[in-house]
Every structure is written in C-alpha cells, then in structure tokens.
Amino acid sequence: MAEGAAPARRGRSWRSAALRGVIYQIVAVAALGLVIWYLAHNTLVNMQVRGIQSGFGFLEQPAGFDIGESVIRYDALDPYWKAFLVGVLNTLRVSALGIVLATVLGTLLGVGRFARNALVRGLCYGYVELFRNVPLLLQLVLWYIVFTEILPAVTEPIVLANLVFLSKGGVSFPWPVWGRGQNLALAGVVIGAGLAWAWRRRARRHFEQTGQTTSTFWLPLAIVVGAMLLGWVAGGAPTAWSIPKPGGFLIEGGIAATPEFLAVLFGLVCYTAAFMAEVVRAGISSVSHGQVEAASSIGLSKSQAMRLVILPQALRVIIPPMTSQYLNLTKNSSLAVAIGYPDVVSIANTSLNQTGRAVECIAIVMAVYLVTSLSTSAFMNWYNKRAAIQER
C-alpha cells in the first residue's frame, strides 16, 4: 500500500510538471483578471471625474432613429437594444450568405486552376490575382457606384421575365406570402437535409468498402426537395406570391435587396473567394499524384476522382486556413459602414453620437464580433476533426 501511495505524493510535489502547469495557468489567469479589473476600474473612475455617464441603462431608452433595412420589425421609438439587434442580424445575414457564396465561388476557382483548358486556368488565375490585390474597401465603393450610379433609375428598371427588376433601388424579385405551408416546407427542408446527410455518409461508407459509387448529389438533392414538397402539401399547398410591380417612384410588392446590401455582399464574396481559391488550390496540390493515378486505374473519371478521392484528402489541408477566411469575411463586414449599410458598427456609431456612451457601444461591438468569431471557429474545429483522415 505504501508503494501505491508514493506516486500520489509525487503528483502533489513541485517536481510534478502537471502540477506546475496548473499553478502557472492559475497565476496567469489571475494576473489577466487583475489587469482587466484595473483597466475597467480606472476607466470608470476617470469617466466619473469628468462627468461622463456610464452604464448600459441607455439600452432601454428609445433609439429615436430609423434604420434603412431590417430583418425584424423596427420603429424609431423602439429601444436601443432592439436597434443593436437589428444591426447584429444585418451583420449575420450578409456574413452567412457571403460565407456560403464565397465558399462555392472559391472552390470552383481553386478547382478551375487544374482544368485541362488553358483558357479556364488563365481566367481563374487572373481573377485571383485581380481581386486579392485590390483593397476590399475600394471594391465595396466600386460595387456601390455600380449599383447606385450605373444601373438605370427606378422608373426605368431592367426587367427579367417580368418578375425581376434591377435598378438603382436594388433588386426586386417575387417572394411567397408566408404562412403555415411555407413554415412546414421550411421544416421539410431541415428534415430533408438531415436525411440527405445520412445518405451521403452511407454512400461514402459503401464506396470505401466496395469501390462502387452511388449518387451523392442528385439523390440527396431529391430527398431535400421531396421533403420540402411534402411539407408544402401538408400545409395546404399555398400558391400565393407577392409579385413586384413598377410603381410611381419605387418597385412595389415582392422582396428587395438594397444597393448597400448588394454592394457589401458582392464585395465580400469577390474579395474573399480569391483567397479561398488559393487555399483550395494548395490543398489539392498537397495530394500525392499517385492518388490521381490510382483513381484513374479503377475507372474513375477526372471529375469523380476530384470529388471522391482528391478533395476529401485535401480537406485536412483546406479546412484550417478556410476557417481563417470565414473569420476574415465576418470581421471585414464592418467596412460596410463606409457605404451606409446598417450593420452593428453603423448602429453603434449612431448610438454613440446620440448618447455619448463610447465605451459601452464599443464593448457591444467587440462582444458581437468575439462571439461570432468564436462560434465560427468552434464549429469549424468540430468539422475539421470529423473530416480529418483517421490514421492508424
């Protein structure tokens, strides 16, 4: 028994590297907490000496200003916290959609760098070199000029199929009149996406075990569409749509994307996709050429080899730097304030000018981007572990 107790005493000894590591971490966290407390206390004292009000109580007061576009219902008499919520939702909307579109475009450009056609390779190379070497702020301004100066006036829009209207007022397109049927259809999409994901996993295991390929795109897509249609039918199969129509000074009906939103979205997507393309190209280049030859030897076409053999192996190289690009896109959305898009930074600036609560407004913006970045990083780290090649 004495021999069994000896290791425990050594574990609590200063000679234990694990114990020293824990103590060092506790001391470091305590020191960091002390520094943060000192800075916060010093700031509050200086603000009180100068008669500057502090605290987050202003969030309950009426904001008193309008917001050009909002995902939720908002009025100028609503409190500041709701104005900030509108800004956060606008930031998340452009960031989430931008991440999806930039990933698709960047992947296509990265794969296109390996195309057999020299023209395709040259165009992909030229795109990357052009867009990644032009500052993002300049690209946002250029896109804003395109949507507000070059496009025709609202009274003379560009009409596509008499359904889509493109003008200086943005893009207007049909939108379903939302009701129970649309809610059930959306639920069907979610359920169908889960079933499609399960099918893709099964198809991948089947391919690894037998070498026989099954549909990993069209059938999952059919599952999602079928589940959506079932939900739509269960909700009464509503067919009511809000169709945009030209009015006197604006496009009435449907749903519209403003020039500011389009400029931010196009700028972020075009800029970030250039960097993502290089990430994808580097990931594909890291895969041994022997894998390509092995895929050809079992009868896979070049597209099948790219989709089933090369890209899955390249993911272990692609995902970590791709995570950084997602974070960059989200944080770069703060530049939208330069062209008048009401994101969280724009709302914070307006609130700061009206209330004088500079520290509080800046703290809110910092917290929003911190939480968003950490959430994105956590999700991508989880996905990176799942996509990593399991080695013996």
Average pLDDT over residues 60-70: 89
Average pLDDT over residues 17-41: 89
How far apart CA 293 and CA 300 sit, in angstroms, is 10
Q: Assign 255 a pLDDT band (cuts: 50, 70, 90).
A: confident
What pLDDT was estimated at residue 1? Answer: 45
What pLDDT was estimated at residue 14? Answer: 74
Task: Report the percentage of the chain scoring pLDDT > 90.
Answer: 45
What pLDDT was estimated at residue 137? Answer: 94
Average pLDDT over residues 250-269: 90
What pLDDT was estimated at residue 130? Answer: 94
State both tokens at 65.
Answer: 């200003």
How far apart CA 341 and CA 348 sit, in angstroms, is 12
State both tokens at 50.
Answer: 């100068």
Q: What angle do CA 319, 321, 324 make, to 5 degrees?
A: 110
- Asked if 63 and 357 count as a contact pair (C-beta separation under 8 A), the reply is no
Average pLDDT over residues 367-388: 89
- Residue 328 pLDDT > 90: yes
**pTM, rounded to two decimals:** 0.81
Chain segment 210-250, per-residue pLDDT in tens: 877 777 778 888 999 999 999 989 988 888 888 888 877 77
- Asked if 139 and 98 count as a contact pair (C-beta separation under 8 A), the reply is no
How far apart CA 277 and CA 318 sit, in angstroms, is 10
Chain segment 105-125, per-residue pLDDT in tens: 999 999 999 888 999 999 999
Strand-pair partners of 175 = 242
What pLDDT was estimated at residue 181? Answer: 86
Select the more confidently predicted residue: 310 or 85: 85
What pLDDT was estimated at residue 391? Answer: 57
Mean pLDDT of the chain: 87
